[in-house]
Structure 1
Amino acid sequence: MTLSIALLVPWLAGVLLIAFDGRKPVVAWLGVLALAAGAAAQVVLAVEVFSSGTSRVVTGGWPSGVGIDLRADALGVTFALLSSLVLLAAATHETIGRVRSRTFPGLVLLVATGLTGLFLTADIFSFYVFFELAMTASYALSAYGGRRRQLRGAVIFTAVNLLGSFIFLLSVAGAYRVTGALAMDQVAERMGEANPNAATMIAVGFFVAFCVKLGLFPFHFWLPTVYAGSRRAVAAILSGAVANIGAYGLLRFGTGMFAEQLRAAGVALIILGVASVLYGGVLAIARGDVAEMLAYSAIGQVGYVLVALGVGGPVGLAAAVLYSVINSMNKTLLFLTAGARGALVAAAFAVGALSVAGLPPAAGFVGKLELFRTGVSAGSVLLLVLMLFGSALSVIYMFQVYQRSFWRPDTVAVGRPSPLPQRLLTALLAVVVLAAGLWPEPLLAVSGHAVDVLLAGRST
């Protein structure tokens, strides 16, 4: 019951609110309330899953294969709850500052519906349907603000990601042609009996589609324009919530359905991940604008997830899950503070900068430690050196942007502070990032449970 409620709440609220004028405070706050209700349902669901195990239901009482097959396990509920909280924070931030588009609250709720559905579905066609729902709403959100820069970014974002969606749909059709199934469990079971060349081509298709969503090098070319051109709340949504589709997809599809192909491509994934880390880091140093720096930083940071996935095994997968969660928290915090003013904002940005750089006591320090454990388990000194170099780059560009934005007296950060509720919200997010670094056991436990689910599914 809780599983269905977690999906129905944002869906019904989104369909309802899209018809009203979101610029009216009452409508905007109703959207925030609906997001909070959906997140609360997911908290209850997460408690059930982590205490009692996987929950599964077919909507409408239909037989499996006809109705939408929903499955809440440790991996899916972690990404669903994380994305909902990011959307809640971004929507609250924008509502405090004043919503500028009538469709904004409804679109955010539709993004929440799509993300919740794809993280909690158990078949690949439903994944595609929810995937498209989330992306269609994201296309419209990327134009939010209506300025030339935002409209240009929306066109690029739509064109590139439609190509990624088309590749994903072709891969779904290929998986069905080869296995005769759409349920993830059945596809995983039958893929091992399929023609190896066909299975590899399907796996490559899914990989490209998810890498486009993540903005990994060399599929990154759309990301800087979109992230830098979007309003802060939208950039936080795209980087902290929508980008989770890519990380989750690589984990779920790669480990669950294409385990052999993942093992065979391990070295290639590590090389692509390291290239993304170094490319994003070097380009971030060269940027003077905060939003552009954060955009290139996003390219570099997701490279660590790909490195951990390429190493594989319990240690690598746990690091990939953990760093995906921490990276989402970091990007949400930093994009919401970019361009804002006030001492609280400066302190919050400093916490986010420490976390991205992997310095204590922020959560990023724990994430980098797990990544270095991954390098040790791989037995590669070169990989450790490259990861250390990538971390050094992040220290440099985060220090540079903090100095430009909050230390120099002639910066835009000096002057009239942002609204107090916005400053308090960013301070709260910074406290969460700090708390996750000072008390990392819950995050480590969550990532451990998620990996158990992945490995259990691979062994069946």
Structure 2
Amino acid sequence: MTVEHFPWLTALVIFPLLAAIPIPLLPDSEGKTLRWYTLGACLAELGLILYTFATYYDVTQTGLQLVDNYAWVPQIGLNWSLAADGLSMPLVVLSGLVTTLAVVASWNITMKPRLYFSLLLLMFSAQVGVFLAQDMLMFFIMWELELVPVYLLISIWGGQKRLYAATKFILYTAIGSIFILLAAMAMAFYGDNLTFNFSELAAKDYSLPMQLFTYTGFLIAFGVKLPVFPFHTWLPDAHSEAPAPVSMILAGVLLKMAGYGLIRMNIEMLPDAHVYFAPVLAILGVINIVYASLAAFGQDNLKRRMAYSSVAHMGFVLLGLAAFTTLGLSGALLQMISHGLIAAVLFFLSGVAYERTHTLAMDKMGGMGKAMPVAFGLFTAGSMASLALPGMSGFVAELTVFLGFSTSDAYSTFFKAGIVILAAIGVILSPIYLLSMLRRIFFGTPGELRIPSNTSWDINPREAFVALCLIVPIIGIGLYPKLATQTYDVKSTELANRVQNIRLAQDADHGPFYAQVLAAPELLASRLSTVSIR
């Protein structure tokens, strides 16, 4: 086997899983050897990711690359099918970076370290598998495999209400997963050939009712994980109780799995249905932005406030997906990457503050800026990125989404103006609740906490390293967005043009799209009645 034909993607998926196997045999009950071993495994995986894509991946190609395809369980049509393109490659790199830094953030874990680090590696393998899977059953298996480690990590190492938060997480996400399976089965059995391969599923000639049915199933499933209002309530509970490293992965990577699913399944495979659902995504996106921004004001718990901020920022992903423009889709992808970095650093720094204060209640903090000046500076930088300060990745991502949606010709001027104005209100609210958070933690008179004068609470070199590894790419992308956009530009342009052409073809047959939206149920019902379900 030549180097070029080596199954690189299979190695990326399997390596973290194999690395977890020896952990129970390592002679270290306190975790010192375990954490170095796990860090070494994650660094090796991250290095393998970067080497594979830098050497064998071509960013100028739109098709699937590095394809690995083997018969896994042929009796049920399950294949080990992996491939990478512009949608998956940057998210695999993001997963590698955030998970590796989460291991460094877990340096002080001493309770059941063997189980803890094994679960991190298992979750790493499942994340990469989700982004690279090209078989619907394999995608579902990897999606489900990722749920178990998160549940255990929250329920064992979480806060006082960890069992409630973990149970709520698994119930919401597991129920949502049922809709993935139902939609996948419907697509696989449709027509004359039974298949779970993504490319073959996308090539089927689905009737419009069939597309609308499966699109709805995927939207519910991915809407729970993104999360989309009103399926979002599990997220603040999960973040408030999860250990900081787990929150880093949850916000930095796992929420992006849902955004990836919306693009891969709903837009790429079901483009005709997406034409009908796009205004729904725009409305849901605005609700996410405004509602979550307002809800953030009422959160006294530091991590709950940041969790609602994540819900708001995911609303911009929905808005970009609804735009029917290359700029809009590019902005949605950039927002996923940007938020993955920003949320990871903010949740990590919240964990640093918790280790010193043993509380997440902001009313018990105050005046910590003097005791933690370096941490205050890093926390401020992360907050500035989250509120979309120019020069940071959040600004470029949100601006691209706004431009992509406002320049779309798919909607009436009235509809676009309403959506943009409401989204802008959310943009105005975000600096208010984020700056208020900084003020309550680092300024003013101390709360119930009494900081010992002879104790240094400031961030240590290991913690500063983790924060800087996230802040540097945030600033780098903010100053030179092409660092991120060049990885997916060709793919996003091809996909956006395809959906736009389908919309224009429908406009030619049935009038302008915005007129169809305003016509609402009667027009949709009449059009569905002309299409038979096979």
| Structure 2 length-normalised TM | 0.81
1:105 to 91, 94, 117: 117
User: For 1:276 and 1:314, how far apart are their aligned partners in 2?
Assistant: 22
Give 1:46 shift: 2.1
Give the corresponding residue for 1:124.
136
Match of 2:424 in 1: 388
- Name the stretch that deviates more: 122-131 or 167-176: 167-176
Between 436-445 and 358-367, report the one with greater CA deviation: 436-445
Return closer, same or farther for 1:139/1:381 CA change in 2, 3 Å cut-off. Answer: same
In 2, the alpha carbon distance for the partners of 1:296 and 1:413 equals: 29
Q: 1:152 to 1:85 in 2, by over 3 A?
A: same
Alignment-derived partner of residue 355 in structure 1: 385
Q: What's the counterpart of residue 55 of structure 1?
A: 65
Tell me the distance in 2 between the aligned counterparts of 1:185 and 1:62. 18
Equivalence for 1:4: 10
Partner of 1:79: 91
Aligned residues of 1:50 and 1:74 also touching (Cα < 8 A): no
How do residues 364-383 of structure 1 correspond to structure 2 at under 5 angstroms? 364-378=394-408, 380-383=416-419
2:361 matched residue in structure 1 = none
Residue identity opposite 2:489 in structure 1: G
Secondary structure in 2 aligned to 1:312?
coil
Residue type of the alignment partner of 1:383: I
**Aligned residue number for residue 46 of structure 1:** 53
Deviations 1:155-178 (A, max 9, x none): 111111111112211111111121
Tell me what 1:403 maps to: 439
Q: Larger Rg: 1 or 2?
A: 2
Contact 1:365 1:437 in 2 (8 A): yes
Contact 2:79 2:135 (8 Å CA) reproduced: no
Q: Aligned letter for 1:216? A: V
- Contact 1:6-1:116 within 8 A present in 2 as well: yes
Q: Distance in 1 between matches of 2:497 and 2:152?
A: 38
Deviation at 1:438, TM superposition (A): 1.9
Q: Is the 8 A contact 2:294 2:429 kept in 1?
A: yes
Q: Which residue of 1 aligns with 2:181?
A: 169
Q: Tell me by how many angstroms 1:297 deviates.
A: 0.8
Partner letter of residue 416 of structure 1? W
Deviations 1:85-139 (A, max 9, x none): 11111111112x3343331111111111111111111111110011111122221
8 Å contact kept, 1:356–1:364: yes
Distance 2:72 2:433 in 1: 53
Specify the code of the residue in structure 2 equivalent to 1:436.
I
Larger displacement relative to structure 2 (223-232 or 410-419): 410-419
Letter in 2 for 1:374: G
Measure the CA separation in 2 of the matches of 1:144 and 1:453: 45
Measured in 1, the distance between the counterparts of 2:15 and 2:445 equals 47
Q: SS of 1:57's equivalent? A: strand
Greater CA deviation, 15-24 or 212-221?
A: 15-24
Equivalent AA in structure 1 for residue 399 of structure 2 = L
AA aligned opposite 2:57: V
Q: Deviations over 1:45-87 (max 9, x none)?
A: 2222235744233355879966401111121111111112111
1:353 shift after superposition: 0.9
| Deviating more after overlay: 351-360 vs 47-56 | 47-56
- Greater fraction of residues in helix: 1
* Structure 2 unmatched runs, 5+: 1-5, 354-371, 503-534
Which residue does 1:185 correspond to in 2?
199
The answer to whether the 8 A contact 1:39-1:81 is kept is yes
Q: Which residue identity does 1:4 align to in structure 2?
A: T
Shift in Å at residue 265 of structure 1? 0.8
Indicate conservation of the 8 Å contact 2:338/2:393, yes or no: yes
Q: Matches of 2:98 and 2:211 in 1, distance apart?
A: 35
- Structure 1 residues 108, 264: closer, same or farther in 2, change over 3 A? same
Distance of 2:29 and 2:292 partners within structure 1? 36
Mapped to 2, the partners of 1:352 and 1:128 lie a distance apart of 34
SS of the residue 1:85 aligns to: helix
Question: 1:300 Cα deviation (Å)?
Answer: 0.8
Distance 1:435 1:100, change over 3 A: farther
SS at match of 1:148: coil
State the shift of 1:390 in Å.
0.8
Structure 1 pair 366–449 and aligned structure 2 pair: CA distance change class (3 A): same
Partner of 1:420: 461
SS in 2 for 1:220: coil
For 1:7-406, what aligned pairs fall within 5 Å after superposition?
7-17=13-23, 23-47=30-54, 48-50=56-58, 53=61, 54-58=64-68, 67-95=79-107, 97-102=108-113, 103-145=115-157, 147-179=159-191, 180-190=194-204, 193-341=205-353, 342-378=372-408, 380-406=416-442
Is the 8 Å Cα contact of residues 42 and 77 (structure 1) preserved in structure 2?
no
Q: What do you get for the CA RMSD once the two structures are aligned?
A: 2.4
User: Counterparts of 1:291 and 1:366 in 2: how far apart (Å)?
Assistant: 25
Q: Return the alpha-carbon distance in structure 2 between the equivalents of residues 372 and 226 of structure 1.
A: 30
Cα 1:312–1:128 change in 2 (3 A) is same
User: Measured at CA, do residues 18 and 113 of structure 1 come closer, stay the same or move farther in structure 2, by a change above 3 Å?
Assistant: farther
Provide the C-alpha distance between the structure 2 equivalents of 1:427 and 1:22, rounded to a whole number of angstroms.
Answer: 31
Aligned CA distance change for structure 1 residues 447 and 389 (closer, same or farther; 3 Å): farther
Partner of 2:363: none
